[in-house]
Structure 1
Amino acid sequence: MTLTGKTAVVTGAAGTMGTAAAKFLLEDGAQVALVDIDALRLDNLARFLRGKTLGVACDIADSMSVKTAFQRIEGELGPVDILVNNAGVLSNDKAEQTSDSEWRRVMSINLDGAFYWSRAVLPGMKARGWGRIINVCSLAAKTGGLTAGTAYSTSKGAMTSLTFSLAREAAAHGVTVNGISPAYVKTPMITEGLNDSQRRQLLSQIPVGRFCEPDEFAHAVRFLASPLAGFITGEIVDVNGGLQMD
């Protein structure tokens, strides 16, 4: 149990990827605050997972909601040691089809939410000399979005830059900040939204010939959260089956 005594926050915890990440952090001994906007799904998730959890409903696009949620978590579980900025929304609209409201919706959830949560946890992590922030980025940041739209791809590119900025700021304080850049994890938001033509085309381009399992993504989270990853910061880990090699 490499994370015994640590407290983790996972945003978007009620989704497929968030649940997988929370499960592995719990297995490694952490207590986990499950953050999601869907309170009902959080209740169901807490019953499913084994280990000490706290479900906290939060609109991560609202800075005051994040502040309130963070204060509750620290009040009930103690100082936050690990943050997984996993919550996000997908938009497939290209530039000309992207409305003002859609642009702001995607940016506020995918980028603003990660910033608000990082800003909340960083002071305590720095003061204690240990912390892990893991941002869930995307291959779309490098490719412009093979199937994803303009707002989504741009938000993930900005999230990558946020990762670099925070890593530079926090490194001297014992806090690492890294990103995971997955492509086509088996989730309702990603692969189940593809049409048959997109599915066939993508599978033909992925050298391993399949999509990513949620547990494979979660293992990357598990490693970056571990003490053994203390010399890795400012890194974006590709989990894409060879779809993009660089």
Structure 2
Amino acid sequence: MSQVVLVVGGSGGIGSATTKYFSKQGVKTFLTYFNNEEAAKQIKDSLNNCETIKCDIRNENDVNTMVSSIIETDLKIDVLINCVTSPLKLKIFDRMSTQECFEDLEVILHGGILMSRAVLPHMKERRAGTIVNLLSTVISGIPPVRMTSYVIAKYGLLGLTKCLASEAGRFNIKVLGLSPSFVETELLKSFPKKLLEIEKEKQEGKTLLQPEDIARAIWQITQNAEKYPNGENILIRTKKDIFNMETVLKSGKDQ
């Protein structure tokens, strides 16, 4: 039986690339969307084995209903990929509204908690499953300014990743984090161009990481999850990191 993969935030840049990549490998893929119905429809129409589900991942009932419906029709969820995010605010912390401060927490962290709580009982029962949480290199080293709520939410998701790895590992469930550097998506449209040019200088070919690069990395991680320590946060700063990862995995060595 083919794998069943649930991509949360599957209509976004990285999410849509991941959905397409997995689906083209013959994997039954479900993507969630909230506002971007047209993008979700276009993705579904371009693939043979993809389904779309509208879901507010901040709403526990929405999340539980969605997960139950997938298990009812496809009997399982092998992989959960949490890659949803909210628009970047790029404001000094004490100049943000209370709503702005908590929006990232509600979408990234609260959503990640609800999704994990919904799939874990099923994965424990099957004694199998992989959860990948999309993190960011902003939680490695000194965090950038004007991104406080985003950074806090990603740190929280990292904490969730490690805690779930400790608790669920004995059920043969892998929980891993993936932290890419700047990826060329709509999320970066509000970034200062000078900052992006500096980041491009660090990359081979002077171009930012692309959503397809991250999709490829997520595929490699989920198909070789047993080779990673549970709770690992995998850093992807450049395309060379992905190449090196693929080379090591092909050699059969553990990460």
Asked if Structure 1 and Structure 2 have the same fold, meaning a TM-score greater than 0.5 normalized by the shorter chain, the answer is yes
> Is the contact made by 1:11 and 1:35 (CA closer than 8 Å) also made in structure 2?
yes
- In the alignment, what sits opposite 1:225? 222
Instruction: Flag the 1:203–1:194 CA change in 2: closer, same or farther, 3 A.
Output: same
- In the alignment, what sits opposite 1:100? 98
Deviating more after overlay: 127-136 vs 88-97: 88-97
SS of equivalent residue, structure 1 residue 32:
strand
Q: Which amino acid aligns with 2:175?
A: V
Instruction: Flag the 1:207–1:32 CA change in 2: closer, same or farther, 3 A.
Output: closer
Matches within 5 A, 1:63-102: 63-89=60-86, 90-102=88-100
Separation in 1, partners of 2:156, 2:179: 13
SS of equivalent residue, structure 1 residue 34:
strand
- In the alignment, what sits opposite 1:10? 7
- In the alignment, what sits opposite 1:213? 210
> Is the contact made by 1:92 and 1:152 (CA closer than 8 Å) also made in structure 2?
no
> Is the contact made by 2:178 and 2:233 (CA closer than 8 Å) also made in structure 1?
yes
- In the alignment, what sits opposite 2:54? 57
- In the alignment, what sits opposite 1:122? 120
Q: Which amino acid aligns with 2:25?
A: D
Q: Which amino acid aligns with 1:211?
A: L
Instruction: Flag the 1:199–1:21 CA change in 2: closer, same or farther, 3 A.
Output: same
Separation in 1, partners of 2:212, 2:97: 35
- Across the aligned residues of Structure 1 and Structure 2, the Cα RMSD in angstroms comes to 1.9
Q: Which amino acid aligns with 2:144?
A: L
- In the alignment, what sits opposite 2:44? 46
Q: Does 1:134 align with 2:169?
A: no
Stretches of structure 2 that go unaligned for 5 or more consecutive residues are 242-255
State which of 225, 236, 239 in structure 2 corresponds to 1:239. Answer: 236
> Is the contact made by 2:162 and 2:231 (CA closer than 8 Å) also made in structure 1?
yes
Q: How many residues align?
A: 236
- In the alignment, what sits opposite 2:248? none
Separation in 2, partners of 1:172, 1:51: 35
Matches within 5 A, 1:152-163: 152-163=150-161
Separation in 1, partners of 2:227, 2:22: 20
Stretches of structure 1 that go unaligned for 5 or more consecutive residues are none
Q: Does 1:202 align with 2:199?
A: yes
Q: Which amino acid aligns with 1:18?
A: G
> Is the contact made by 2:20 and 2:43 (CA closer than 8 Å) also made in structure 1?
no
Instruction: Flag the 1:92–1:144 CA change in 2: closer, same or farther, 3 A.
Output: farther
Separation in 2, partners of 1:29, 1:175: 22
Separation in 1, partners of 2:162, 2:134: 13
- In the alignment, what sits opposite 2:23? 26
Separation in 2, partners of 1:147, 1:5: 44
Separation in 1, partners of 2:110, 2:41: 25
SS of equivalent residue, structure 1 residue 189:
helix
Deviations 1:67-118 (A, max 9, x none): 1211222223321110000101123222112221111211000101011111
SS of equivalent residue, structure 1 residue 230:
helix
